[in-house]
Amino acid sequence: MGKGNAAKKNTRPILAILGAAKEDPPPNIETVMGNAEVRFAPDGETLKSILPGVEALFIWDFRASELRDAWSFADELRWVHVAGAGVDAALFPELVESGVVVTNSRGVFDRSIAEYVVGTMLVFEKDLLRTLTLQRRKEWRHRESGMLSGKTLLVVGAGPIGRMISTLAKNLGMKPSAVARTAKPEDPDFERVFAHEELDAALPHADYVVIAAPLTDETRDMFGAEQFGRMKSEARLINIGRGKIVDEAALTAALREKKISGAALDVFREEPLPPESPLWEMDEVIISPHMSGDFVGWTNALGELIAENFRRWSEGEELFNIVDKERGYGRSAPSSLRSGESGAVSPRDASGVGKRDDG
């Protein structure tokens, strides 16, 4: 099953939404509400009570990790959609080993995240952090600033977000390369694509290093003291991927010791970032609360994607944004959400789920 489980039934499918209340459902899912029995779980405890019989689950509002605690209550689950691009919190072993299809919201946030990255690079290059500090002091201090044109950019992660970052960077005259699972001698979006194992060799040449990779076994703790030691002393790190890709203690030390010049961080190992973290107090660090992709209207775009995938699931069509559960990330996004070809792919068989398959 997996591509049309609901189509085989005469009754309406049962769906659940984790992280939303009946009084405040996600926008643009009217067609879902009208064609399915929808149960709402504002929190993980409520999910346990409503999950039996549920065939599809939409995870809203960063609550993917709560599914694991409720997993033993899933007896009919066939499809899980995560309202975000990253799905690492949802990929616990029982779900990965089951036949449940997982989809994500890849494509919705690409442009917004890429603009955030360009914005932080401009803040660094134009010395705007110092300008704002001097403004608050009412201190007039003329100085020169840099230009992004001609700077080298290394994007760790060559998915749609990384490619959008490259596109915007090239428009500003930057020279982008990437690190991906495998090397590519030619790529339309990057001057060069390095393999993961070539990261250390690529780092010394980059003025800006942007982490745009998902959290997987390959990327976890990918950046530590050794990597920061290989970067240019004038280089900056930007992380919009996952916090656990970076050793924050090593990053803090590298900033203090001037091994790198700055960092813009939207994701952290622990969120919210604890008040005692020294990163809060560092002059050349930009901290944002995991919001780089959240543009005005993003919930509407997510609702549209969920509604379209529900229609496809109900009518037995191929789903958008199937996640490779072994690798930990999705393959492509709908063409309506990004430039390029359609992201429809054949879902895997979803004939078994939850406690019925764990044995």
Catalytic residue among 271, 311, 326, 356: 271
d(CA 55, CA 7): 12
CB 55 within 8 A of CB 336: no
Q: Catalytic annotation on 326?
A: no
Give the tokens for residue 39. Answer: 């149960």
- Helix, strand and coil in the chain, % to nearest 5: 35, 20, 50
Q: Catalytic annotation on 242?
A: yes
238 DSSP β-pair partners: 210, 264
Helix boundaries (H) for the chain? 30-35, 44-50, 66-70, 93-97, 110-125, 128-137, 160-171, 199-202, 225-230, 248-256, 298-314
348 C-beta neighbours (distance < 10 Å), count: 17
Q: Catalytic annotation on 270?
A: no
CB 314 within 8 A of CB 15: no
Give the tokens for residue 4. Answer: 């049309």
CB 83 within 8 A of CB 61: yes
Catalytic residue among 230, 269, 290, 327: 290
CB 172 within 8 A of CB 118: yes
Which residue has 């009570």 as its token pair? 49
From the list 343, 339, 345, the residue with the least C-alpha distance to 166 is: 339
Cα–Cα distances (Å) from 140 to 38, 130, 168, 245, 260, in that order, read: 60, 11, 32, 40, 27
At 308, is the secondary structure helix, strand, or coil?
helix
From the list 286, 280, 236, the residue with the least C-alpha distance to 261 is: 236
Catalytic residue among 78, 111, 163, 242: 242
Q: Give φ, ψ of 171 to 5 degrees.
A: -65, -20
Question: Any idea which residues carry the catalytic annotation?
Answer: 242, 271, 290
